Amino acid sequence: MSDRPASPSADRLEVRKTYKLYVGGAFPRSESGRSYEVTGSKGEFLANASLASRKDARDAVVAARAAFPGWSGATAYNRGQVIYRVAEVLESRRSQFIEEVGVAEGLSPKKAGSIVDASIDRLVWYAGWADKIAQVLGGSNAVSGPFFNFSVPEPTGVVAVLAPQHSSLLGLVSCVAPVITTGNTCVVLTSQTMPLPAVTFGEVLATSDVPGGVVNILTGKVSEVAPHLAAHMDVNAIDLTGSGLAAAELEVAAADNVKRVLRPNLDSDGREVDWATEPDLTRLRAFVETKTVWHPIGV
Amino acid sequence: MIAAPVQETQWDGIANSDRSLRTFLHGLPGVDRVGADQRAAALATRSIKTDSKAWAIDLAIQMIDLTTLEGADTPGKVKALCAKAIGPDPADQSVPSVAAVCVYNDLVGIAKEALGSSGVHVAAVATAFPSGRASLPVKVADTHDAVAAGADEIDMVIDRGAFLSGRYLQVHDEIVAIKAACTADGHSAHLKVILETGELQTYDSVRRASWLAMLAGADFIKTSTGKIAPAATLPVTLVMLEAVRDFRAATGRQVGVKPAGGIRTTKDAVKYLVLVNETVGAEWLDPEWFRLGASSVLNDLLMQRTKLTTGRYSGPDYFTLD
Amino acid sequence: MTGSRTTFSYSPAPESRAVVDLKPSYGLFIDGDFVDTIDGSAFKTISPSTEEVLAEVTDAGPRDVDRAVAAARKAYDTTWSRLSGRERGKYLFRIARILQERGREFAVLESLDNGKPIKESRDVDIPLAAAHFFYHAGWADKLSYAGYGPAPRPLGVAAQVIPWNFPLLMLAWKIAPALATGNTVVLKPAETTPLTALLFAEVCQQADLPPGVVNIVTGAGPTGQALVEHSDINKVAFTGSTDVGKLIRRSLAGSAKKLTLELGGKGANIVFDDAPIDQAVEGIVRGVFFNQGHVCCAGTRLLVQESVAEEVLDSLKRRLGTLRLGDPLDKNTDIGAINSAEQLVRIRTLSDIGEAEGAGRWSPVCELPERGFWFPPTVFTGVSQAHRIARDEIFGPVLSVLTFRTPSEAVEKANNTPYGLSAGVWTEKGSLILHMAQKLRAGVVWANTFNNFDPASPFGGYKESGFGREGGRHGLEAYLNV
């Protein structure tokens, strides 16, 4: 543990945190009772993370589905405020995240700081979108007839997010925020090797007015959990960003209930995009359905 | 309002007050204008050819209330119209007579005499036609006059002002009074109630006015005076046909329908017949239950009839203008 | 009166077939010309209303598909992607105009090949197809304003597979946005309805569309499979059954091909007790008997509030008694032929299951022609959510009637399906309309109307009804690299 910052007092033994899952607003261990060793960028032991099972995934989907009516039914203004609140709480725990991200990704405090800052700012960016995206993606359609016709974007439902493998916080936030901004709920499988900032981010969510079940965080293996999420008939969409080599296989499984699939956005060398790049609307558009309503106009 | 026929007593309380009438009339299913327009427009695309067209033309002629309602009407004009009503085409005796001649009440006697025993009815507009703006005693006297002069049918107007301001009881009671005048002194004139749908504007009002008139005893409900635009339209007639259909289902009593005004061509007339056929069916396809209030349409029907029999197109010079 | 007729029976009013010039056989339309097959064979396309053979059509093989994709690729690289949006738009305007000019010819051919009533092909399919080209023509030089960034790019070659229910209209839904956004296409019409697509090829020629921009390959499932799995395409757009949609979805896994799917449905048409009943009845009829029920967004589940159920059903049955079934080319026909023997078997099978499961089956008195494929308008009452006729897409003139008591029960039942394409709501209460529109998980909600379509109106499903939208600004996304 030599690389970890020393305890404030040399004669006091540090109280370590148990990294658990975040499901339905609670922090359970894996129902399987399993854990796996998480190491820092230099191979040092950091913690034992819960090794989520397919049953944990199932429970997380149930929690996400249960949270969907409330979250999607909340006003967009309210969702925006809740997501902004997440940014506030993240800001207040900035130093903790700089430390965790730095250790997980092997970054200098300065570099880790800029990543945490970008994560906070990303949440603020999406928070502001909550009550504007409907105007940008929706509107009235000039049909030829005595009808008023309008289209609105609506959340797709429960989204499985396979978070980026190489960006433990900014990548995670960049994938989760757009999903919940439009009213979806989600089950997130974190980076397999750098899961700890995500679990701590769960604590941020838990203390920032995000209703339980809106974001559910699982730590574990893509190979073990992702196939069950991809095939789950009550999951409406899947973000394959962190799926790695399993992407094609997961896409096949996702066909069973015609899931919306967001394929990994890789650069020409097959690497994850630089998450610091300013986002556009792609991720917001990926998990909304356009609903079009017709009504006659007449006296 | 599709329900099993009910006892008349079930309708007793409805016409007690504006409030009870309002509760009933506003409880009728609404009419969506766009849907009704679409339905009427769809029926208007029916293609009626050859035999069915010939049949429809003759039926349409028999349904016509041949009308003249001008300030300039004279006995001479009315006599000429009556001659045309009996034998619409002097060159072709197979053309049937029209249903009725429709005139102002001071000309009823002239028309009655001219029509004689032809079977063609005399219809008189009454009740301060076309505006209806007169006191009830005047309207009743107007009706008595016409009936006494021999009118077989009375075309009355409702008080649209009263209807639109929710004084349904007044409208109802006036119809009841005029109906009584139609059958006073041993007469048995049929009562057609003109809703003047162009002034009612909404189809909801057309449906309510139809029911109100039927509840008050109308034998026929009629769209228009012909003095207000729009006069009869297909969708308004559709709504009225639905009302008589539902009224019969609810009460067992059949009421006739008469679109009037704006029907100028054979095509127009045939569209109305299709509307009747597919909304209320064959039982209303009879001059006793459906009339066309019109005048110029007759010559077009005759022209088309000639075309069907001769195979060549005719021209207006070959039909009489009366 | 002439004759002894006492009822108003309409004399036959057939639209003339003379306007259509059918060839005995058709090749494939590739690179601007009709060509013979390399490795395919031939099949016959018949009129479903008479079983008369209309023409012989090519069943394209893999090498034919190769050739078509190569032509589309070449056209994309050398002409179409280099053309300005304005010039592309002008080609589409030309196509729209030619479709209008030759509208009657297309309508008659569509009714012959598909079996749908001429009044629908004449008044709905063909005018809407032309409108679709006209609408998208205007987008071609305005894509930078469509909300997809300052310079959205086309994808390349689009493979498009369309169904038999609206042959030319589905072609328009596919080709118009693809071309407007700068893609070139290879389109495969359904095997039972290839003729209007082949006539459309002539329109492309008349419009002087550069060779290879539109290629039409006819054939059945294997041809479609060869097309969507071709390695040199960039985009797949499919309209058809959910089962085939899933197969395509799987086959595209791991590729970079963009995909949009417009699949099946089991739409609920919800009638509240304060509905405009006469129009609701029209909407029910239009919802499920339009185009013989061969409509993915058909309102095949009537959910009627218990308090008006009897009244609505009585009205509906009376109205169904006026439907005229028969010769698709007769201008007074309301219900035409079922598109194929195969589809007829499916409709019969599911209807028999409905009866066996205990639902009450009713059809109006309706004489069916002896030749051809016919099925009478059919209503099942006493249907519950568990019945197969309430769950499976029948794709025929078959309505299942269920009842509900409260708005929340209506929402629950309407959404209780893996599909999510369309829904209808009938009530005169504005706030209830908006409430229902919000709660229904369906891509299109028709309130106090049903089965309206417009090129400006995005169309597409939730859940297993597919993804992506067709029409409107939204529909452009499917063909842009965004």
Whether B37 and chain A come into contact, CB under 8 Å, resolves to yes
CB contact under 8 A, C279 and B51: no
A237-285 per-position pLDDT tens digit: 999 999 999 999 999 999 999 999 999 988 778 788 899 999 999 999 9
Write the residue in B31, B52, B285 that is nearest to C276 by C-beta: B31
pLDDT in tens, C208-233: 999 999 999 999 999 999 999 999 99
For position A152, what pLDDT does the model report? Answer: 98
Record the tokens describing residue C475, joined without a space.
């529909």
Contact residues, A window 64-83, toward B, CB-based 8 Å cutoff: none
Contact A258 C447 (CB under 8 A): no
- The pLDDT, as a whole number, for residue C193 is 98
Query: pLDDT tens, A179-224?
Result: 999 999 999 999 999 999 999 999 999 999 999 999 999 999 999 9
pLDDT at C77 over 60: yes
B39 touches chain C (CB under 8 A): yes
The DSSP code sequence of B35-72 is HHHHHHHHHTT----HHHHHHHHHHHHHHEEEE---TT
State the Cα–Cα distance between residues B11 and A48, nearest whole angstrom.
81
Pick from A68-72, C4-8, C445-449: least confident: C4-8
pLDDT at B322: 73
Whether A296 sits inside 8 A of B32 (CB atoms) is yes
Residue B41 sits at the chain A interface (C-beta within 8 Å) = no
ipTM: 0.96
Selecting from C12, C13, C276 the residue whose C-beta is nearest the C-beta of B35 gives C276
Mean pLDDT confidence for A57-82: 98
Interface test with A, best of C463, C464, C470 (most A CBs within 10 A): C463
Tens of pLDDT, residues C322-358: 999 999 999 999 999 999 999 999 999 999 999 999 9
Element (H, E) at A39: strand A35-39
| pLDDT tens digit sequence for B76-116 | 999 999 999 999 999 999 999 999 999 999 999 999 999 99
**pLDDT band at residue A4 using 50, 70 and 90 as cut-offs:** low
* Contact partners, residue C232, CB within 8 Å, separation at least 6: C69, C70, C73, C157
Q: Is A256 on the interface with C (CB under 8 A)?
A: yes
- On whether the CB atoms of residues A101 and A191 are closer than 8 A, the answer is no
Q: Is the pLDDT of residue A2 over 50?
A: no
Q: What is the pLDDT of residues C356-391, one digit of tens each?
A: 999 999 999 999 999 999 999 999 999 999 999 999
* Length of chain A, in residues: 299
Q: What is the pLDDT of residue B9?
A: 59
Parallel, antiparallel, or unpaired: how do β-strands A288-296 and A147-155 relate?
antiparallel
pLDDT exceeds 50 at position C33: yes
By Cβ distance, the residue of A141, A236, A255 closest to C457 is A141
Residue of B65, B152, B155, B219 marked catalytic: B155
Q: How far is A207 from chain C (nearest CA, A)?
A: 30
Our answer to whether residue C297 is catalytic in this structure is no
Q: Which residues of chain C lie closer than 8 angstroms to B267, CB-CB?
A: none
Active site includes B307?
no
Chain segment B37-82, per-residue pLDDT in tens: 999 999 999 999 999 999 999 999 999 999 999 999 999 999 999 9
Residue C15 has pLDDT above 50, yes or no: yes
- State the nearest Cα–Cα gap between A221 and chain B, in angstroms: 57
Please check the confidence at residue B151 and state whether its pLDDT lies above 80: yes
Q: Cβ separation of C8 and B242 shorter than 8 Å?
A: no
pLDDT at A10: 73
**What is the tens place of the pLDDT at every residue in A103-130?**
999 999 999 999 999 999 999 999 999 9
How close does chain A come to C397, measured CA to CA in Å? 24
- The predicted-structure confidence for B196-239, as pLDDT tens digits, reads as follows 999 999 999 999 999 999 999 999 999 999 999 999 999 999 99
What is the rounded average pLDDT of the residues C413-434? Answer: 98
Instruction: Answer yes or no: C204 catalytic.
Output: no
